[in-house]
């Protein structure tokens, strides 16, 4: 399977199903050595697939590997040829990793599939596919306390699957810059007692 070249901390967090801050802490503590990439005009830390796999594997094997063995495991991963290996050997250890590789590959496939479920406006803003609704607008509403049902009420062109896609996309690709309002225009009008303007 062909893997993406690099993964940001947010993308890695999506794959690992962990908070971004936990991934950043793991990158700070080593032995993974992230590189700096330019994305959307900003410098971000990113790791390769092997590093991502290491972070996943050491969590799955935390009870079996001592801190020193984790470093040896990482070094052994870096020495592995690029083709898939179902076993990693280091020191006196042999660790079977075929099932772990499959899990990470499935999760990275899920990450890649997110891009197929959005489209992009000319200014680069991601939209829910087949709609004109911004991904980050949906997530801002959810973060502001609206339920999925309320979002669907305000944006009837959306489906529940669209809302889940928006949530997942924003998790993997956090919005840079100014956030969207946490209240839809319709709900703001209703809150101000101006709901009759909805029909104008």
Q: Can you spell out the DSSP letters for 62-120?
A: TTT--HHHHHHHHHHHHHS-SS--SEEEETTEEEE-HHHHHHHHHHHHHHHHHGGGEEE
Query: What does the alpha-carbon distance between residue 18 and residue 154 come to, in Å, rounded to a whole number?
Result: 31
Q: Is 192 in a helix, a strand, or coil?
A: coil
- Position 82 confidence tier, pLDDT thresholds 50, 70, 90: low
Q: How far is CA 2 from CA 50, 83, 84, 108, in A?
A: 12, 10, 11, 10
Residue range 36-74, pLDDT digits in tens: 988 777 888 999 999 999 999 999 988 888 888 999 999
Around Cβ 109, how many Cβ atoms within 10 Å? 12
3-class DSSP assignment, residue 129? coil
Q: Which residues contact 59 (CB under 8 A, 6 or more apart)?
A: 16, 18
pLDDT, tens only, 91-140: 888 888 999 999 999 999 999 998 889 999 998 899 999 999 999 999 99
pLDDT tens for each residue of 22-34? 999 999 988 999 9
Mean pLDDT computed over every residue of the chain: 85
pLDDT surpasses 60 at 192: no
Owner of token pair 């489906």:
159
Is pLDDT larger for residue 178 or for residue 189? 178
How deeply is 162 buried, as exposed, middle or buried, from its count of CB atoms within 10 A (0-12, 13-18, 19+)? buried
Domains by residue range for the chain, with CATH: 7-113 (1.10.1660), 121-190 (1.10.10.10)
Q: Hey, how many other C-beta atoms are within 10 angstroms of the C-beta on 134?
A: 18
Whole-prediction pTM: 0.78
**Rounded CA separation 196/112 (Å):** 43
pLDDT tier, 16 (very low <50, low <70, confident <90, very high otherwise): very high
Reduced to 3 states (helix: H, G, I; strand: E, B; else coil), residue 121 is coil
């Amino acid at each position: 399977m062909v893997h993406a070249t690099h993964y940001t901390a947010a993308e890695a967090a999506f794959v690992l199903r962990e908070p971004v801050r936990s991934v950043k802490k793991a990158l700070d503590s080593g032995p993974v050595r992230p590189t700096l990439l330019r994305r959307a005009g900003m410098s971000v830390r990113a790791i390769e697939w092997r590093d991502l796999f290491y972070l996943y594997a050491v969590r799955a094997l935390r009870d079996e590997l001592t801190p020193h063995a984790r470093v040896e495991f990482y070094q052994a991963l870096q020495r592995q040829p690029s083709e898939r290996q179902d076993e990693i050997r280091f020191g006196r250890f042999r660790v079977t990793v075929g099932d772990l590789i499959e899990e990470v590959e499935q999760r990275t496939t899920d990450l890649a599939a997110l891009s197929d479920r959005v489209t992009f406006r000319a200014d680069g803003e991601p939209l829910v596919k087949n709609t004109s609704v911004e991904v980050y607008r949906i997530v801002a509403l959810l973060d502001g306390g609206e339920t999925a049902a309320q979002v669907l009420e305000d944006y009837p062109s959306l489906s529940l699957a669209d809302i889940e896609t928006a949530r997942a996309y924003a998790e993997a690709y956090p919005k840079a810059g100014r956030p969207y309002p946490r209240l839809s225009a319709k709900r703001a009008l209703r809150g101000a007692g101006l709901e009759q303007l909805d029909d104008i």
